[in-house]
Chains A and B, each alone.
Chain A
Amino acid sequence: MKELTASMAGTVLNVLAGSGEEVAAGQAVIMLESMKMEIPVEASQDGKIAEVKVNIGDFVNEGDVLVTFE
């Protein structure tokens, strides 16, 4: 797992983990809001975050990179 991408277009509601943080598979890393629904973007496997590419309030399109992993 090198990066985490947005599953659909939406606004970044929350960033739940930061650079250098270890996350587990299934853990919600970014919370998106699309069509008034909260959509968690979860890590597909265990890993350590290298960089969070987005900030709260950013609008992202489907496929945009949200987080990169070491």
Chain B
Amino acid sequence: MRKILIANRGEIASRIIRTCRNMGIQTVAVYSDADEGMPFVKEADEAYRIGEAQVNKSYLNMDAIVETALKAEADGIHPGYGLLSENAQFAQKIISNGLTFIGPSPDTIEKMGDKITSRKLMQSAGVPVVPGTHGIADIEEAKAAALEIGYPVMLKASGGGGGIGMIRCNDEQALIQHFASTKNRAKAYFGTDEVFIEKCIEDGRHIEVQIFGDKHGNIVHLFERNCSVQRRNQKVIEEALSPNLSQATRDKMYDAALNAAKAVRYENAGTVEFIVDQNENFYFLEMNTRLQVEHPVTEALTKLDLVKWQVAAARGEKLPLMQSEIQADGHAMEFRVYAEDPDTFFPSPGTITSLKWGDSEYARVDSGYESGSKVTPFYDPMIAKCVIWGETRETCLSNASAFFKETNVEGIKNNIPLFKDILENEEFQKGTYSTKFIEQLKSIKK
């Protein structure tokens, strides 16, 4: 591959461009009207406008993206994450046009994109799944299933992801209240109104295993990340390795993740997500068939470049390392800087008037913005990821505190003040937090 089109925007486009440049591969950026002049557009070797600001008129326009790749004579497309990254139709379209899709096969994407199908597949591969149902036909069936599973339950859209299309129901009344609206929303967002019910794991930890496969049947894991610091079911801080997890459980999770990957003959970068209860029982949640937002945490831990691995795997090369050669070194944390109110998590679009990141040899900042950049309401609120490394978790925490003392983002509301509160919190420092952590932190502050 000598030229890659990046079907994405912002920091992930910049990050892919960086690796391609190091590999001697030329890059093509595509941008919407709202993103003209953004750093990633300037950084790519070539850049093409693909449409208006709204995502469905630009970054979700498969025809425009593939046509641009053909016009620019690119030979591969990297989808980044979000947008079209887990769209099997897009992957197939790329392949059908004689281009290389940098990701897993369309068949794998399709199977794992449907939560009910993936639950069934994982069950047959011996991977523990959260107690729950397959598809639910109507409210009567939902009521009966929830009663058997026991409240609270999670009502989920089969096509859902990223926290969208799921709602907690504490009792039958809540289930009745949310059933029809969840089905409607699922249909609007994901094109199918199929929903199912899972047991709600209280005070659980969200831990996921990074896996990687090549076209020759080799599959490895690259350890796990704890992603339990969440607001609105979306991650805010991730760390690797997960604190307070026994080695025995860790090893079992790696085995389960590898079995999950083998069951679908997984190729390229992927993630197997688990929910872990207080007794360290773990259950499969979903498999993400793409590079994750938090992949730099794993890169900081392993000192590997996962985008480089992705390109090599897409070219048909064997994995560069065997399992025994992959080492976890020290501890890493990723902080997602969002343009949002740190108390209400309400979005805060606007212009960044000043941007200053802490100066630390232990920090890596992946940002798609610069001073003067406009954060528009069209895309997600993430403006940067700050990845901090330390020899131990304690050192990592102190490196992070020092980094954020020197960091300043002005012009838009952002969640850096929240990071400062979290870093000073005893439970976070001890690493004993669950997915309820931010909710509890907020109630303490009030």
Residues of A within 8 A of B (CB): 8-11, 13-14, 34-37, 39, 59
Contact A35 B381 (CB under 8 A): yes
Contact among B188, B339, B377 for A9, CB-based, below 8 A: B377
Closest 9 CB pairs of A and B: A35-B347, A35-B381, A34-B377, A9-B377, A36-B380, A34-B347, A10-B377, A37-B347, A35-B377
**Centre residue among A8, A37, A39 by max chain B CB count within 10 A:** A37
A14's closest neighbor in chain B, by CB?
B188
B349 in the interface (beta carbon within 8 A):
yes
Contact B349 A35 (CB under 8 A): yes
28 contacts between A and B (CB under 8 A): A8-B349, A8-B377, A9-B349, A9-B376, A9-B377, A10-B377, A11-B377, A13-B188, A14-B188, A34-B347, A34-B349, A34-B377, A35-B340, A35-B347, A35-B349, A35-B377, A35-B378, A35-B381, A36-B379, A36-B380, A36-B381, A37-B232, A37-B346, A37-B347, A37-B381, A39-B347, A59-B53, A59-B54
Interface size on B, residues (CB 8 A): 15
Majority SS at the chain B contact face:
loop
Contact B54 A8 (CB under 8 A): no
What's the Cα separation between A70 and B103 when bound, in Å? 55
A60's closest neighbor in chain B, by CB?
B377
How many contacts between A and B, using CB within 8 angstroms?
A: 35
**Centre residue among B188, B377, B379 by max chain A CB count within 10 A:** B377
Residues of B within 8 A of A (CB): 53-54, 188, 232, 339-340, 346-347, 349, 376-381
Majority SS at the chain A contact face:
strand
What's the Cα separation between A53 and B188 when bound, in Å? 22
